Structure 1
Amino acid sequence: MSFFVTANADGAYDLTTAGYTALILVFIALLLAGAAVFGTKKKMSTKQLVFSAMAIALAVVTSMIKLFDLPMGGSVTLFSMLFIVLIGYWYGFGGGLTAALAYGVLQLLIDPYILSFPQMLVDYILAFGALGLAGLFHNSKHGLIKGYIVAVLGRYFFAFLSGWIFFGMYAPDTFPNAVVYSLVYNGSYLGAEAIITLIVIAIPPVAKALETVKKQAIS
């Protein structure tokens, strides 16, 4: 179809070598831009880049540790969204957003499922990029919990949108329509992971440890 993707037998598209290369460059550019533009000074920018990269690496690893999978995609992972939310909690909206967008690009590199450019944009860039909304609460009381909730709701919105528009035809007859199906389907795995994560980060020793990590990240 193009220089970056080729059609496969399933009606979807596979990334070409050029496509993978372009996404790697975009990923690197987003990480560097986040640190350069939103870091307050050179030393801080370097630390922000290192901490952001470490958090993204942990998010990728934990995204592969799945408590359970759903048949049409989506899973409850071992706190993978939390690690991306933490970046916004540490560095604010700008730093969190660029890191979350970079993570979306990385997820596209690792496990691409492309039906069309709009679907790819919604499922990967916008859905994972929404986790950067946590940065709006980085200086707020109970900012991590507030930020996490808003970030997950943002991802849920785009996951719902994708499920309704691009995958609604797969809704079983037990659901009245594609809208309800997408709301329930995407809410089941995102809601389950969110509840588990919120319980864990509300435990006093865990909350204290996360505050200590934040101080190290921004000092």
Structure 2
Amino acid sequence: MGFTSAWAITSHSDAVISELSPRLLPAMLADRAAPRARQRWEQWQQASLPDFDTWYAPAASPAFTASDAAAIESFRELTSPGDNVDEVCSGRADPEFYVVDDVWAEQEEHGIFISVHSKEYAVASFFHALGPVRAALLPGWCGNFLLTSEHVRQSLPSVERALSFTDAERVSAEAQDWLRYSDGEERVLDGPLRLWRAAAREGLGLCGVAVHVC
């Protein structure tokens, strides 16, 4: 069955972050505490995945093992939208709150990064391109976070370490980002850092959510 997913980061005043907190933070924390979530994270941290090009190799190929298959499936589960955040953001938990209309729709282009894909998860591609060491520097849980302006400023140095690359590192990271981009579309390796720096400069907070939109 097909699906469309979106990962968005939006900038807001601290007042808006405070308004969003009772709706979104409990869901984010619940997904982080879900059974096996920490186990999947630690498994990935301890053993990074093989190159993306090998993921669909025939089972008999020496480049792809049963342990690789299990690790990749665990990683996909880790980086797919969490059930609780999905429930809240879709309006199923509260028909008066729908993230597309209530968080994303009013944003001007400079105040939002969004990556929408059919049958793909942007956070999965983003994390695989970064690798576990860089991903561990990012706040929140697997692309989901709600940060005040102070938290944005405090976390910016870590985010810059995670998302700054030498030329060779950039080539390597882009090779592991399997998402397809249209002309002018921001890559997952670019948009988050742009928005983080702008929010820190302008004294704004950030909201990041990864969800199914259909």
Q: Give the TM-score normalised by structure 1.
A: 0.30
Higher relative contact order (CA 8 A, sep 6+): 2
Q: Give the TM-score normalised by structure 2.
A: 0.30
